[in-house]
């Protein structure tokens, strides 16, 4: 039975209200246990490995996965779990932090456009060009009349990418403030996670509602038929991983990938001794 990934699409033309969505939801398939779902994740990992291998060999399509979330939302964990076993030669992760002086001297889309996927690649944006309508808005780094124009810029940018052969998938990992608190506390309590903690995380947590409003508007303004946003309940990591995996597998299956034909007939060729 095909998993209905369309249930998680933020519909174009609708206003998203994150308060109406339960970040702890875990409705996968009726009657399936958590162990059944974990077994399914292994199957999806294997299927994604096969599809990525074909994508890389064919070198006809490009896939861009955009991951956004609140701090401690699970972007790194999703990447690690979903792409387990996939050949790293054809998958690239690009992370976007505070822009460098060189990046700030150019238009805000430049640094992202430099690293979009090439033929046969899957590229994951861990944060992305959306920070320029999210963090920039919440932190007041640009006035509203500047960042508000960027919704249309982004739509035009993504339309250009899709016109040129890139499949764009955008996923927002939706967690609750309670779950964020638990994850941040673990970063303090567990020595091996201390490196992840930054005092700025606590400052940003105080702006929770401002961040939520920014996400709601950004997603509502930029979810399109060509490049839809998926809003995934992410309080439960195992459920987050299975849904993201389903989205990636179905996205690649929809490309009807095939291995390329050999450049010449191979029948009868024998490899001789040296």
Quick: pLDDT tens for 219-247. 999 999 999 999 999 999 999 999 999 99
The angle at the Cα of 17, spanning 27 to 76, to the nearest 5 degrees, equals 60
Give the pLDDT mean for 152-168: 98
Confidence of residue 27 (pLDDT cuts 50, 70, 90): confident
DSSP for 109-120 reads THHHHTT---TT
Closest CA to 169 of 2, 13, 5, 4: 5
| DSSP helix/strand/coil, 134 | coil
Q: Where are the domains of the chain?
A: 5-253
| DSSP helix/strand/coil, 13 | coil
Residues 6 or more apart from 69 whose CB is under 8 A from it?
Answer: 75, 172, 173, 174, 175, 234
Is 233 within 8 Å of 25 (Cβ atoms)?
yes
Beta strands 166-174 and 122-126: pairing type?
Answer: unpaired
* pTM for this prediction: 0.93
- Please give the CATH topology (third level) of the domain spanning 5-253: Rossmann fold (3.40.50)
Average pLDDT, the chain: 93
- Report pLDDT for 31: 56
- Report pLDDT for 28: 66
């Amino acid at each position: 039975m095909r998993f209905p990934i369309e249930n998680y699409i933020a519909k174009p033309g609708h206003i998203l209200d994150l308060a109406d969505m339960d970040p702890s939801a875990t409705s996968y398939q009726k009657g399936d246990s958590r162990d059944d779902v974990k077994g399914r994740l292994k199957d999806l990992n294997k299927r994604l490995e096969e599809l990525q291998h074909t994508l890389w060999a064919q070198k006809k399509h490009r896939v861009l996965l955009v991951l956004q979330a609140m701090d401690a939302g699970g972007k790194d964990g999703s990447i690690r779990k979903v792409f387990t076993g996939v050949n790293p030669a054809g998958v690239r992760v690009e992370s976007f932090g505070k822009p460098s002086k060189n990046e700030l001297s150019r238009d805000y889309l430049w640094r992202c456009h430099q690293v979009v996927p090439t033929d046969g690649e899957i590229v994951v944006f861990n944060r992305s060009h959306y920070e320029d309508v999210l963090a920039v808005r919440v932190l007041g780094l640009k006035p509203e009349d500047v960042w508000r124009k960027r919704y249309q810029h982004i739509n035009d940018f993504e339309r250009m990418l899709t016109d040129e052969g890139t499949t764009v998938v955008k996923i927002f990992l939706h967690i609750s403030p309670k779950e964020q608190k638990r994850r941040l506390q673990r970063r303090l309590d567990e020595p091996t996670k201390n490196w992840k903690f930054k005092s700025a995380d606590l400052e940003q947590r105080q702006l929770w509602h401002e961040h939520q409003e920014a996400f709601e508007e950004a997603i509502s303004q930029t979810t399109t038929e060509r490049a839809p946003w998926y809003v995934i309940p992410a309080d439960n990591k195992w459920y987050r991983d299975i849904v993201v995996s389903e989205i990636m597998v179905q996205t690649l299956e929809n490309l009807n990938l095939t291995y390329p034909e050999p450049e010449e007939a191979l029948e009868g060729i024998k490899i001789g001794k040296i």
